[in-house]
Amino acid sequence: MTLAILLRTTCVGAICAFAQASPSLAQNATTETIVETMRTLSGKQSTRPSGAKGQCFTARFIPSAEARQLSKSPAFAGERAAVVRFSVGSGNAKVPDATRTVNRGMALRIDPNGPGQTEFVMVNAPVNFVKSPDQMLAFLQARLPGADGKPDAAKIKAFSDANPETANQGRFLAGRPVPASWVGVSYWAIHPYTLTNAQGATQIVKFKLSPKGGEVGLSDEEAKGKPADFLVDELKARLAEKKPAGFEVLAILGSAGEAAIPATQTWPDEETRRSVKLAELTVTGLADNEICDREIFDPTRLAEGVAGPTDDPLFAERAPAYAISITQRH
């Protein structure tokens, strides 16, 4: 069944409006193949094909005075409610929380159902593992099991040798300790965005969430002793004890030329260049997962004053891919 048919017959929440507004994306066969291949690699589970394991939380988004200088978005006009979903990477809903080789994710919805509704999908690395939908599909297909039920190491090596940038995210994660908390690690939105203020001035930025309590990691020995599902309990205990459970929302300032750098690469000196604090995001409590599961977090859903890249096929791929995933889950 094609995505277009799925969306006509199984519309969920805002996905119906998306399908009507973006029919060309809804008919993208590559997107369907990507999602199906991800599901195959995760054992055909009925959960998300990526970030299957996660938990929904409520939060508050409090903009800074500097935010209004960069963006006229109503998301930055005053304090807003927010919803976040933290996750552990992969399509395996039972992946142990201390697994080093998978990323940690955060999906963020600011001002749900309000004029400032703006959404981001972030990971705890400044780069993505692929730069385009075609490269993603090739990455996944290289890992499909053969007749013996195992992936072909030679195929994976051949793909990696031809696409060395696909190792950048894994190399970054391998060089960091296992996160001890969902709120003890930084997250990046990876793609460049354009902020426009009330005077019409624009600024290219990358969004980064920096934990207010600092980075918190586990030693290898500590990671071995952790329960498989410790992250939810850690954050619940942190909230009960009123320990730091929030982030500074930073805009790393870039140029128009840097906006064309692919998502598998960081900007030059990205970690040391100037950034502006746009807001504080504070996690306030545990939420029913249904709040996060009933519709997609769509990073192309951005309030006026914040715009995603217009010529990045990977960014454009996200919404239709998530739409396929949710229609299959529901």
What confidence score (pLDDT) does residue 24 get?
40
Residue 25 has pLDDT above 80, yes or no: no
Confidence of residue 210 (pLDDT cuts 50, 70, 90): very high
Q: Within a domain: residue 159?
A: yes
Contacts of 126 (CB under 8 A, 6+ apart): 172, 188, 190, 206, 208, 266, 270, 271
DSSP 211-239: ETT---EE-HHHHHTS-TTHHHHHHHHHH
* Average pLDDT, integer, range 200-213: 98
Q: Within a domain: residue 29?
A: no
Q: Within a domain: residue 132?
A: yes
Cα 150 to Cα 33, 45, 144, distances in angstroms: 20, 18, 8
Q: Within a domain: residue 26?
A: no
- What's the chain's average pLDDT? 90
- Percent of the chain past pLDDT 70, that is, above it, reads 90
- Percent of the chain past pLDDT 90, that is, above it, reads 81
Point out the least confidently predicted range of 104-108, 163-167, 259-263, 325-329.
325-329
Q: Within a domain: residue 258?
A: yes
Report helix, strand or coil for 137.
helix
H-type helices in 75-145, by residue range? Answer: 133-141
Residue 2 has pLDDT above 70, yes or no: no
Residue 22 has pLDDT above 70, yes or no: no
What confidence score (pLDDT) does residue 28 get?
64
* Average pLDDT, integer, range 172-196: 97
Evaluate whether 293 touches 183 at the Cβ level (below 8 Å).
no
Residue 165 has pLDDT above 90, yes or no: yes
For the chain, the domain total comes to 1
Interval 52-62: pLDDT, tens: 999 999 999 99
Instruction: Note down the domain range covering 280.
Output: 52-313
Q: Within a domain: residue 17?
A: no
H-type helices in the chain, by residue range? Answer: 3-9, 15-21, 23-26, 29-41, 65-70, 133-141, 153-162, 168-174, 220-224, 230-240, 289-293, 313-329
Q: Within a domain: residue 25?
A: no
Confidence of residue 48 (pLDDT cuts 50, 70, 90): confident
What confidence score (pLDDT) does residue 330 get?
60
What confidence score (pLDDT) does residue 7 get?
33
Confidence of residue 96 (pLDDT cuts 50, 70, 90): very high
Nearest Cα to Cα of residue 318 among 148, 135, 170, 132 = 132
What confidence score (pLDDT) does residue 26 get?
39
What confidence score (pLDDT) does residue 329 get?
67
Confidence of residue 282 (pLDDT cuts 50, 70, 90): very high
Residue 27 has pLDDT above 90, yes or no: no
Confidence of residue 117 (pLDDT cuts 50, 70, 90): very high
Beta bridge partners of 104: 88
Q: Within a domain: residue 72?
A: yes
Residue 297 has pLDDT above 80, yes or no: yes
- CATH at 231: 2.40.180.10
* Average pLDDT, integer, range 2-6: 35
